[in-house]
Amino acid sequence: MKLWTKETVDKEIEAFTIGDDAELDMLMAEYDVIGSLAHIQMLKSIGILSPEELEVLTAALKEIQKEIQTGDFEIQEGVEDIHSQVELKITERYGEVGKKIHTGRSRNDQVLVDIRLFLREEVKVISQDVGQLAEALLLRSEQHSKDLMPGYTHMQVAMLSSFGLWFGAYAESLADDLILMKSAYDVINQNPLGSAAGYGSSFPINRSLTTQLLGFNDLAYNSIHAQMGRGKTELVASFALAGLASTINKLASDICTYSGQNFGFFEVDTRFTTGSSIMPHKRNPDVLELMRAKCNQVMSIPNEIMLLTSNLPVGYHRDFQLLKEKLYPALSTVKRMAHILTEVINSIEVNPSVLDDPIYDNLYTTEAINALVVQGVAFRDAYHTVATQVKTNVFDRNIAGIQYSHEGSIGNLCTDKIRRKLTERVL
């Protein structure tokens, strides 16, 4: 069944045009029903459906919704998409009244509302998952606030850092990622239903009612603009995912590096590693390496979406169908990574004695310079004094005091302030 007619349909061409759409549509199945439930209530409010017809269609849709929730619903072979399948089921079971469900809307705005309802929920869930990951990082930051570790620039031993500072840095980075996530949510959370094929409907439909029923924050008022949201909505969501993936990528890379034998800053649980076929001593961070690579894939998606949608004039184009193939798997990937990474963070065993190794003696040079400055020595003179000590191998790290008090330093992690940011930004 299709919501459009044509004398003949070539099977090979049909398979090419449908592609994986049916499988991906199942992710939106329940949202298609939810959108239709709001639509038929609106149709009844303007006199298109009778109270009796509304009752039948509501019962039919809720019946299908339960089948979707229990896994007993599928898109049958030969049925083009979820929208066609739902209408077909209702018509098969309840007769001619099922044919009225599509009144006053196009498949275009039906797809739009399904996508926005689906993405709205997905972005909300991801935001909450990210909040949990960030909270795990903050707890570890507080737990290891006094445990020092080396800080690096250019991959060279640089200055004192702490495990508390390191954990907290990624928590605050995730807090910034949630700003993009919230912005994407706000763009998504506008109702396109009623825009029909992009030019409205001659029926006196009540778009404000469906906006209220579907819990949208506002309308996408201009009907052409609502249709132009296809592609733009996915692009905005992909930018939010890419920002998050950038943070996860760097965190995974740090964990891979710092848990290696050459660094030995901490260990992760063995369940997140694999072994070698010939080297029994090895523990390979495969989970984190794959996470790092998957993040790179997620970060490529905005560019893929832009390439798929560039140079398209206003209106619907079948090119948009391919957007689901790019974006939807990424949503699942990001959720899975957030869950696993939270477990990784909770499993980390910190080495509090890492700085006992003499290779880190020069971490304290800046502290020594600052100590001389406090005693009245000009900074440049203090710098040259300590540089000479290092060059002649007489620098003593024990003469340096450690005094950090400003916001965001190893002596003042501000985890409470970062936690406030998270609380404000998690959806």
CA distance 397 to 285: 34
Q: Which domains does the chain have, with CATH numbers?
A: 11-100 (1.10.275.10), 107-191+221-354 (1.20.200.10), 358-425 (no CATH)
CA distance 124 to 122: 5
Active site residue 154: yes
Sign of CA dihedral 292, 293, 298, 299: positive
- Nearest residue to 177 (alpha-carbon basis) of 278, 295, 261, 77: 295
**Cα separations (Å) of 391 from 384, 394, 395?**
10, 8, 8
Band of pLDDT at residue 282, cut at 50, 70 and 90? confident
Band of pLDDT at residue 402, cut at 50, 70 and 90? confident
Beta-carbon contacts of residue 268 (< 8 Å; ≥ 6 apart): 255, 259, 285, 288, 344, 347, 348, 349
Count of all residues that appear for the chain in the document: 427
pLDDT at 178: 98
Asked if 326 and 305 count as a contact pair (C-beta separation under 8 A), the reply is: yes
Region of poorest pLDDT, from 183-187, 199-203, 312-316:
312-316
Band of pLDDT at residue 19, cut at 50, 70 and 90? low
Asked if 181 and 427 count as a contact pair (C-beta separation under 8 A), the reply is: yes
Q: What would the mean pLDDT of 213-218 be, rounded to a whole number?
A: 98
- Nearest residue to 273 (alpha-carbon basis) of 282, 265, 264: 282
User: Which residue out of 154, 277, 310, 406 is catalytically annotated?
Assistant: 154
Active site residue 201: no
pLDDT at 144: 98
Q: What is the mean pLDDT of the chain?
A: 93
Residue type for position 395: F
CA angle at 18 for the pair 15 and 20, rounded to the nearest 5° = 100
Query: Is 80 exceeded by the pLDDT of residue 69?
Result: yes
Query: Is 90 exceeded by the pLDDT of residue 1?
Result: no
Element (H, E) at 11: helix 11-18
Go through 131-166 and write b for each residue having 16 or more CB atoms within 10 A of its CB, e for each that does not: bebbbbbbbbbeebbebbbbeeeeeeeeebbbbbbb
Of residues 280 and 198, the one with the higher pLDDT is: 198
pLDDT at 400: 66
Helix (H, G, I), strand (E, B) or coil at 401: coil
Q: Which tokens is 223 given?
A: 């009907």
pLDDT digits (tens, 9 = 90+) for 87-126: 999 999 999 999 999 999 998 999 999 999 999 999 999 9
pLDDT at 403: 84
User: Which residue out of 183, 208, 276, 332 is catalytically annotated?
Assistant: 276
Region of poorest pLDDT, from 20-24, 297-301, 418-422:
20-24
pLDDT at 190: 98
Band of pLDDT at residue 22, cut at 50, 70 and 90? confident
Residue type for position 138: L
pLDDT at 101: 94
